[in-house]
Chains A and B, each alone.
Chain A
């Protein structure tokens, strides 16, 4: 009788060898399956991101429209060039990726607003302003709040803008109009007259006339 133990060991080795292609095949199958699932998920993720991006773009456009169509932009003699210089336009440009060299030279606002009406979006900008004291941020908030008829906040953010840079006409005009809306007409006229005296701005004069006629 030959040694069964040795034969058993030999059989174990044979069995392992016999199963190896099956094991390798199974591993390969699992890897292929996992890769397929992963790629499929990745594709879904990419398409969802693209969809999200489209939505953001859409919202941003909407957001831009809200502000552009807001009372502030409805000032007479407002030209396109001024509009382009609005920080908001930067946002729009960022999101639509239409890079304008002039705008690029300015500090980009990089507003990560998903929804223009989302209060969190404004808070984000406020937070960023406190960190960077960027007039683009504060002016954006002033315009946005004014458009939303939140005049107290609009006044506050226009004031913050003016504190940093007192030569931003748009900010001064929002400040005056916000005061006016809050019923502080005398104060508004005093500030506007002081501004006209300092800058002799045509737009400010137009606004003064409108206030006097009660058209604002």
Chain B
């Protein structure tokens, strides 16, 4: 027999699928800012924030919205090396694959881009750009200087270093859009909307305000952490529902389960 919590659990499988996208005030604002920035004569736009703040899904959403209107490309996974990256750029520019055993001549590529100025306006969405090294970023900048390619770069903000502060980022004219973790209200809306989208009204109703506060405390409003937390909570509930139904209160998620999930995910320790 399928547990009522199984569907709820699957709602929170972390993905950038647009069907799972939840419109929140903060994300809507970021999206509008990004759309607006694209229309500005900027060469590069920086989208940054901590992991799990919704950068990838925002890029994905932008791509889906503009793919039929603009010449836009989404590089969701970073190229493993420079060669592969320029292969991808070459294909974007020429619509042709690079012949085998050949390499892109970067100077020729820059010149090619310069020739395209005024003829084409290409937008490239670069996700996980923190994976690229400084040299590579410099080459990306040179390409963007041609004004025919506009890069939207998504970066992780880390504790160790603030990438925005890096010299090559500071020296360029960038539009910077920062994505932050959700506040309690946004996170509550996010969880409720996610469940309601799948018609899981009763389960959404079983998560009370005090639970939301606790979940927000553990996840600090991070969407990815929130997804993990909710998935684990419903996984534990699913276990009890199937094996020890006497231990679960269907009208509200027990605090014990939330704390067990937090223990499992390492938010708290014994």
Contacts and interface: CB of A to CB of B under 8 A. Distances in A.
Interface of A: 1-2, 4, 7-8, 10-11, 13-15, 17
A34 B140 CA distance: 75
Interface in B224-270: 235-236, 239-240, 243, 256, 259-260, 263-264, 268-270
A7 B236 CA distance: 10
Contacts, number: 29
A15 B259 CA distance: 9
Contacts of B263: 7, 10-11, 14
B13 to A, nearest CB: 15
A11 B256 CA distance: 8
Contacts of B264: 2, 7
B270 A14 contact: yes
B235 A14 contact: no
Nearest to B259: A11
Contact of A1 (B235, B260, B270): B235
Contacts of B256: 11, 15
B259 A14 contact: yes
A10 B261 CA distance: 11
A7 B270 CA distance: 11
A131 B162 CA distance: 98
The 9 closest A-B pairs by CB, nearest first: A13-B270, A11-B260, A14-B270, A4-B239, A7-B260, A10-B263, A10-B270, A11-B259, A11-B263
Contacts of B270: 10, 13-14, 17
Given A4-B239, A14-B268, A15-B259, 6 more contacts: A2-B264, A4-B240, A7-B236, A7-B264, A10-B260, A11-B256
A13 B260 CA distance: 11
Nearest to B269: A14
21 contacts: A1-B235, A1-B239, A2-B264, A4-B236, A4-B239, A4-B240, A4-B260, A7-B260, A7-B264, A10-B260, A10-B263, A10-B270, A11-B256, A11-B259, A11-B260, A14-B259, A14-B263, A14-B268, A14-B269, A14-B270, A15-B259
Nearest to B243: A4
A8 B259 CA distance: 10
Interface of B: 235-236, 239-240, 243, 256, 259-260, 263-264, 268-270
A141 B99 CA distance: 136
A4 B256 CA distance: 12
Contacts of A10: 260, 263, 270
Nearest to B257: A11
A14 B239 CA distance: 21
A8 B239 contact: no
Interface centre among A1, A2, A11 (most CB of B within 10 A): A11
Contacts of A11: 256, 259-260, 263
Contacts of A2: 264
A124 B43 CA distance: 113
B5 to A, nearest CB: 12
A2 B240 CA distance: 13
A9 B3 CA distance: 24
A1 B239 CA distance: 9
A58 B129 CA distance: 97
A7 B235 CA distance: 13
Contacts of B240: 4
A11 to B, nearest CB: 5
Nearest to A11: B260
A11 B264 CA distance: 9
Given A13-B270, A14-B268, A8 B235 contact: no
A2 B266 CA distance: 14
A15 B260 CA distance: 10
Contacts of A8: 260
A7 B240 CA distance: 13
Nearest to B238: A1
Nearest to A13: B270
Contacts of A17: 270
A8 B236 CA distance: 10
A17 to B, nearest CB: 6
A8 B247 CA distance: 12
A31 to B, nearest CB: 28
